[in-house]
């Protein structure tokens, strides 16, 4: 198991990204039209998933969140290693199926499932988490008795343990748009008593900015709720407990984050029942799997100098880095500079503003960053860009999505080609 952060330093990450960029350039995978790219370390992705498997019981289902990086090549690679996939919409569910994920390894979560979506999910045999009591009533008319199938049905519960340091990505406060609050304990227990087919509990605390204490307290609350449900039913009913994802990752050198091993150890200490026979644990990690396994790169198109300001105009802005542009106080990426050949640039650093290509004044993925002198044709490399970047791509200004490359044993290859003009036009037809 991991003990503390054991990943490479940011200097090492920068060197690896530079080597990968240079390799892609020399292999001709980045042409003149490729003003930007995203590069995934596929071997690193394998290792990241294996760390999860090593930290939890062998029977656990680790359903990696599709929404973090909905790339077919990445999803199918993880599925081949034994992962499940967590879908938050019907298209994501079908992306999981297209990636080769068996229905019994798919977890379907959404706060706004339609009746048609519920019917399809039940027929497919996925693991479905109902978000609320109204959804359970819809399922009453869909689920046949006795319920049989490779999947299962559960209820999402808000453990109400409080918010993390980023309110916008915390979902376990006293109020939440997700799940039924645990304060409705009696109604929740009654819902299980009246529905023999309801066999799972689901929770999620938040994504980024949440400490281990929030996760372990939330799991403890669900386990105690499970005990009450068993007492009311007169037998053991809950056979799976979905603890969600959300474990924070490092985006800056001084950011203190727990390792996956530390998280698992804390759960073993505070919630030993999770690891006992008879209860299957589900997880839904996304950011933790993908974020550190990719970098984004953009060519510097122009350099502008004004009194007190140096600005590098690049081809990635709020279209890809939505959160850093709109909420820079809580979201950022480390940025390093490379020359036209991909080699890291050195020299005295000065404060640079990094301006994106979109037509609004807030399109700055970074401001006042210490970077060496930049020139048109240089590259800026955004580290830890593997999660919630391409996935949150904005269609504003209708710019083309960049090429996505994968590194395997140090060799780059194309995972997804740059979007063509025809594909952009077809999107808006």
Band of pLDDT at residue 209, cut at 50, 70 and 90: confident
Q: Total domain count for the chain?
A: 2
pLDDT at 39 over 90: yes
Query: Averaged over 316-336, what is the pLDDT?
Result: 95
Among all chains, which residue has been given the structure tokens 């996760």?
Answer: 215
pLDDT score for 6: 57
pLDDT at 173 over 60: yes
Query: Averaged over 249-253, what is the pLDDT?
Result: 92
- Same domain membership, residue 269 and residue 305: no
Query: Averaged over 345-351, what is the pLDDT?
Result: 89
In a domain, 278, yes or no: yes
Last residue of a domain, one of 246, 263, 287: 287
pLDDT at 221 over 60: yes
Band of pLDDT at residue 348, cut at 50, 70 and 90: confident
pLDDT at 359 over 80: yes
pLDDT at 342 over 60: yes
Nearest CA-CA partner of 315 in 349, 343, 354, 341: 354
Average pLDDT score, the chain: 95
- Same domain membership, residue 271 and residue 405: no
pLDDT score for 347: 83
pLDDT at 212 over 90: yes
Last residue of a domain, one of 287, 303, 331: 287
pLDDT at 358 over 70: yes
In a domain, 17, yes or no: no
pLDDT score for 3: 39
In a domain, 246, yes or no: yes
- pTM equals 0.95
- Same domain membership, residue 98 and residue 216: yes
pLDDT score for 5: 53
pLDDT at 203 over 80: yes
pLDDT at 4 over 80: no
Ramachandran bin of 228, using left for φ above 0, alpha for ψ from -120 to 50, beta for the remaining angles = alpha
| pLDDT, tens digit, 9 for 90 and up, residues 259-280 | 999 999 999 999 999 999 989 9
Band of pLDDT at residue 8, cut at 50, 70 and 90: confident
- Same domain membership, residue 383 and residue 341: yes
Distance CA 108, CA 94 (A): 11
Band of pLDDT at residue 1, cut at 50, 70 and 90: very low
Query: Averaged over 169-192, what is the pLDDT?
Result: 95
Last residue of a domain, one of 253, 270, 287: 287
- Same domain membership, residue 382 and residue 268: no
- Same domain membership, residue 258 and residue 332: no
In a domain, 233, yes or no: yes
Q: Cβ distance 321 to 345 under 8 Å?
A: no
Which strands make up the sheet holding 350-355, listed edge to edge? 302-306, 309-313, 350-355, 366-371
- Contacts of residue 346, defined as CB under 8 A and 6 or more positions apart, other chains included, come to 372
In a domain, 244, yes or no: yes
Tokens of 119: 């019917």
> Exposed, middle or buried by CB within 10 Å (0-12, 13-18, 19+), for 132?
middle
Domain containing 241 — which CATH number?
Answer: 3.20.20.10
Q: Cβ distance 244 to 205 under 8 Å?
A: yes
Domain that holds residue 141: 43-287
Query: Averaged over 40-52, what is the pLDDT?
Result: 97
In a domain, 38, yes or no: no
Band of pLDDT at residue 2, cut at 50, 70 and 90: very low
Band of pLDDT at residue 148, cut at 50, 70 and 90: confident
- Same domain membership, residue 237 and residue 274: yes
- The 3-class secondary structure across the chain, one letter per residue, is CCCCCCCCCHHHHHHHHHHHHHHHHHCCCCCCCCCEEEEEEHHHHHHHHHHHHHHCCCCCEEEEEHHHCCCHHHHHHHHHCCCEEEECCHHHHHHHHHCCCCHHHEEEECCCCCHHHHHHHHHHCCEEEECCHHHHHHHHCCCCCCCCCCCEEEEEEECCCCCCCCHHHECCCCCCCCCEEHHHHHHHHHHHHCCCCEEEEECCCECCCCCHHHHHHHHHHHHHHHHHHHHHHCCCCCCEEECCCCCCCCCCCCCCCCCHHHHHHHHHHHCHHHHCCCCEEEECCCHHHHHHHEEEEEECCEEEEECCEEEEECCCCCCCCHHHHHCCCCCCCCEEEECCCCCECCCCCEEEEEECCCCCCCCCCEEEEEECCCCCCCEEEECCCCCCCHHHCCCHHHCCCCEEEEEECCEEEEEECCCCHHHHHHHHC
């Amino acid at each position: 198991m991991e003990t503390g952060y054991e990943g490479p330093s940011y200097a090492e990450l920068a060197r690896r990204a530079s080597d990968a960029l240079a390799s892609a350039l020399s292999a001709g995978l980045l042409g003149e039209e490729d003003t930007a790219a995203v590069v995934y370390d596929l071997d690193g992705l394998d290792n990241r998933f294996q760390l999860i498997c090593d930290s939890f019981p062998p029977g656990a289902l680790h359903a990696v969140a599709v929404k973090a990086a909905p790339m077919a090549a990445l999803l199918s690679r993880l599925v081949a290693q034994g992962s499940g996939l967590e879908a938050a919409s019907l298209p994501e569910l079908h992306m999981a199926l297209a990636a080769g994920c068996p229905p019994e390894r798919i977890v379907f979560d959404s706060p706004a499932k339609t009746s048609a979506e519920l019917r399809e999910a039940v027929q497919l045999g996925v693991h479905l988490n109902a978000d609320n009591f109204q959804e359970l009533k819809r399922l009453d008319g869909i689920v046949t008795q006795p319920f049989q199938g490779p999947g299962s049905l559960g209820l999402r519960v808000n453990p109400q343990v409080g918010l993390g340091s980023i309110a916008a990505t915390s979902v376990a406060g006293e109020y939440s748009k997700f799940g039924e609050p645990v304060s409705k304990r009696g109604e929740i227990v009654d819902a299980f008593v009246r529905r023999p087919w309801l066999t799972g509990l689901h929770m999620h605390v938040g994504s980024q900015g949440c400490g281990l204490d929030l996760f372990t307290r939330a799991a403890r609350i669900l386990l105690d709720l499970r005990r009450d449900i068993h007492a009311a039913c007169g037998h053991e009913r809950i056979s799976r407990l979905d603890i969600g994802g959300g474990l924070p990752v490092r985006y800056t050198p001084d950011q203190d984050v727990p390792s996956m091993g530390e998280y698992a150890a804390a759960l073993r200490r505070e919630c030993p029942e999770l690891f006992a026979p008879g209860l299957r644990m589900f997880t839904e990690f996304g950011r933790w799997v993908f974020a550190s396994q990719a970098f984004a790169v953009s060519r510097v198109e122009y350099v502008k100098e004004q009194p007190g300001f140096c600005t590098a105009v690049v081809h990635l802005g709020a279209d890809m880095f939505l959160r850093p542009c709109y909420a820079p106080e809580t979201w950022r990426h480390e940025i390093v500079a490379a020359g036209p050949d991909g080699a890291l640039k050195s020299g005295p650093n000065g404060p640079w503003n990094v301006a994106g290509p979109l037509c609004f004044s807030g399109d700055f993925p970074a401001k006042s960053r210490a970077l060496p002198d930049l020139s048109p044709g240089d590259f800026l490399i955004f580290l830890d860009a593997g999660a919630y970047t391409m996935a949150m791509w904005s269609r504003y200004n209708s710019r083309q999505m960049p090429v996505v490359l994968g590194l395997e044993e140090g060799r780059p290859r194309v995972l997804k080609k740059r979007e063509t003009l025809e594909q952009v036009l077809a999107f808006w037809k």
